[in-house]
Amino acid sequence: MKTVEPDNLYVSISIYGSNNKEFDVFAKVLAQGIDARLEGFTLSSRHWSGNRLHMMFHKSELQILIRRLVEQCNADADRWADDIVLVEYGYEYM
The residues facing 13 across adjacent strands are: 53
Cα distances from 3 to residues 8, 35, 74, in angstroms, run 9, 26, 23
Residue 22 scores a pLDDT above 80: yes
Mean model confidence pLDDT for the chain: 87
Domain chopping of the chain, boundaries: 2-89
Query: What is the mean pLDDT of the segment spanning 62-74?
Result: 95
Residue 56 scores a pLDDT above 70: yes
Residue 5 scores a pLDDT above 80: no
- Let me know if 29 is exposed, middle or buried by CB neighbors in 10 A (0-12, 13-18, 19+): buried
Asked whether the beta carbons of 67 and 12 are under 8 A apart, the reply is: no
